[in-house]
Amino acid sequence: MSPRHLPLEILAAALLGAVLGAVLVRWGLPLPAHAQSADSGHRYVAVAGEYMTGVSILYVLDQKTQHLAAYEAHGGGANAREVVFIGARDISLDTQLDGFNDESEISAVQLRKEFEKRGLAPALEAAVESGED
């Protein structure tokens, strides 16, 4: 082997190693979870996402009554498939809280005061009253 061909062979081996490494890393990593949503008649919203291999969580929100229901769906063989009701809750009061178990750097109350101090509170209130976020 001549010294002139050695760098080309090293480069080819390194490139092949990088490609194989990328394929093995991609193959070994878990697939990312992707939420899917569906809206039926603008009353119900359903969101599902993979929880663990073969198990998905389904959340169903009734926008009229503001009730949230959660289900666990198991896949697999014919005798292993099932949908399990986890629980339900009226979330109408939950969504009115400014914070709960909120470990943010600045609280909602502090943020609102900062907006008021800068004269931005009326625009914020108008957006809340009109239903905008």
Question: What percent of the chain is helix, strand and coil (3-state, nearest 5)?
Answer: 35, 30, 35
Question: Distance (Å, rounded) from C-alpha 124 to C-alpha 19?
Answer: 51
Residues 124 and 86 in one domain: no
Residues 40 and 83 in one domain: yes
- The pLDDT assigned to 17 comes to 63
Going by C-alpha positions, the residue among 96, 83, 90 that lies closest to residue 48 is 83
User: Which residue did the predictor score with more confidence, 105 or 125?
Assistant: 105
Residues 40 and 76 in one domain: yes
For the ranges 70-74, 122-126, 129-133, the lowest mean pLDDT is seen at: 129-133
- The pLDDT assigned to 133 comes to 46
Residues 107 and 66 in one domain: no
Residues 89 and 59 in one domain: yes
- The pLDDT assigned to 21 comes to 62
Read off the pLDDT of residues 18-57 as tens digits, 9 standing for 90 and up. Answer: 666 665 555 555 555 455 555 556 889 999 988 888 889 9
Q: Which residues contact 8 (CB under 8 A, 6 or more apart)?
A: none
Total structural domains within the chain: 3
- The pLDDT assigned to 91 comes to 94
Residues 124 and 77 in one domain: no
Domain around 8: 1-30
- Cα dihedral 109, 114, 117, 121, rounded to 10, equals -70
Residues 79 and 119 in one domain: no
Read off the pLDDT of residues 95-121 as tens digits, 9 standing for 90 and up. Answer: 888 888 888 998 888 888 888 888 886
